[in-house]
Amino acid sequence: MDIDVFVSAHRQAWDRLEDLVRRRRSLNGAEIDELVDLYQRVATHLSIVRSGSADPILVGRLSALVARARSAVTGAHTPAWREFIRFFAVSFPVVAYRARWWWLGTTAAFVLVSAVVAVWVAGDPAVQAAIGTPEEITQLVDHDFADYYSEHPAASFAGQVWVNNAWVSMQVIIMAVLLGLPIPYILWENALNVAVSAGLMASRGKLDIFFGLITPHGLLELTAVFLAAAVGMRLGWTVVDPGPRKRGEALAEQGRAVMSVALGLVVVLFVSGLIEGLVTPSGLPTWARIGIGVVAEAAFLAYVIFFGRRALAAQETGDLERAPDLAPSAG
């Protein structure tokens, strides 16, 4: 099947059905009949596309349109608990998994820049002198770095960290409207902050304290930030290269999918905030605190890989408008 010809032949019917669904509360009798007829026709189109096309974007769009039209025709609604389960079992992990190469590239670049700058800071007294006086560096290394994690009550600190990290991730995603161009700069600034702290701690022989404090929460926290940056840059690239779709359509679909990540990361960063507020400053041995961070990181990555790969195999896109193919029952 020539998918381009098929889309050209039926796009007008799809657009008309979308318009009727959008105005479903104000349709007259003739328009209601047209809505039912178009719903049946587009459902047939979806069946044809599923059997003859490997385009997940087109399948996703028609699936969402048919589901919304079915809801308009039958008046049925998906129970909230099903929407919740679908979000965490499909929408969030599939978008994260589809962005895995952007995610991996972002992580590698951040780690490389941080390592190079940290080695430079640790080994060059002139750089250290430019950062601060010996007394200021001593204060940071011996007191300020560790005190940061224990100077506030654990519960309030965890909440503060959660809100701050969620806001940073949202900012990174929002930057996608500027083609993602500011995102590398934001990552660069964060990499420098991490690298300077690591370099100064290393210069005074306290790199073990640095990793002992930053690793428990930092693994999951930075992974979440890298994911936000990856999907933000991927959304920006969609503007440059929309593929076979119209640029506006591709951007809208990818933008809705990216919102899945924005919402999902609120939960991920909540867990990271709990670890930073409760585990990092705790009296647990260093190995235990790091172990908790490693387990949290491994659990998150395993979750994304398992559910994301499964959803991708089912041709899911993570578009928030996508609904289950089966009609939800009123009961």
Please write the tens of the pLDDT for every residue from 3-13. Answer: 778 888 888 98
Percentage of the chain with pLDDT > 70?
80
What three-state secondary structure class fits 186? helix
What's the whole-number average pLDDT of the chain? 82
> Residue 178 has what pLDDT?
72
pLDDT of 152: 60
Q: How far is CA 289 from the centre of its chain?
A: 26
Residue 100 pLDDT grade (very low, low, confident, very high; cuts 50, 70, 90): very high
Determine the Cα–Cα distance for residues 278 and 216; give it in Å rounded to an integer.
10
CA-based nearest residue to 184, from 262, 106, 255, 258: 106
Residue 52 clears pLDDT 80, i.e. is over it: no
Rounded mean pLDDT, 183-206: 90
Helix pair angle (207-240, 247-274), 10° resolution: 160
The yes-or-no verdict on residue 327 having pLDDT over 60 is: no
Instruction: Grade residue 157 by pLDDT with cuts at 50, 70 and 90.
Output: low
pLDDT band at 330 (very low <50, low <70, confident <90, very high): very low
Mean pLDDT of 150-174: 66
Tell me if 212 sits within 8 A of 159, measured CB to CB: no
Q: Record the pTM.
A: 0.69
* Whole-number Cα distances in Å, 53 to 57, 165, 249, 315: 10, 40, 19, 11
Q: What is the percent of the chain where pLDDT is above 90?
A: 26
Higher pLDDT, 149 or 76: 149
**Res 110 pLDDT > 90:** yes
Residue 119's pLDDT band, with cuts at 50, 70 and 90, is very high
CA 28, CA 8: separation in Å to the nearest integer? 28
* Least confident window among 14-23, 126-135, 258-267, 322-331: 322-331
